[in-house]
Amino acid sequence: MFPENVFVDTGAWVALADKDDANHKKAVAIYPSLLKNQKGFITSNLVIAETYIVLLNELGHRSAIHFLEKIKASPRIMRIYSNDDIERDAEELLRKYDDQDFSYADAVSFVIMNRHKIRKVFCFDKHFTVAGFEAVP
């Protein structure tokens, strides 16, 4: 089977960067196998923005900037930018699933994943499994 792309959500980026994060050990343990077995990593500008804010608040400016630099420098990470079309579909999802507390960034991520036929997501967020995606770990 050919390797797939995996979407990376905010919680995974934060867990990798923050040694005090509750999921840090799990994230660090799974990351090498993802690097080895997955084609590439997909994330969105909204996920990057969320991650930057969390890291800025939790770890400070230097760590937040370091995260941005690592994302930009990696040839295996593709950033997909949200646009009107994606956001229109995301807003429709938010209206449709009024029994869920999906964030706006989550809904945008779901649309991106569906459009790019990505089934796996590196996350620690139950919303992705509720939306029908396969969470890793």
* Contact status, residue 30 vs residue 137, Cβ threshold 8 Å: yes
User: pLDDT tens across 30-88, in order?
Assistant: 999 998 888 899 999 999 999 999 999 999 999 999 999 999 999 999 999 999 999 99
User: pLDDT tens across 113-124, in order?
Assistant: 999 999 999 999
* Residue partners of 124: CB distance under 8 A and separation at least 6: 9, 11, 12, 15, 23, 26, 27, 135
Predicted model pTM: 0.94
Report which DSSP code applies to 100.
Answer: S
* Contact status, residue 17 vs residue 52, Cβ threshold 8 Å: no
Please name each of the domains of the chain with its CATH number. 5-130 (3.40.50.1010)
- Residue 137 CA to residue 57 CA, distance in Å, equals 25
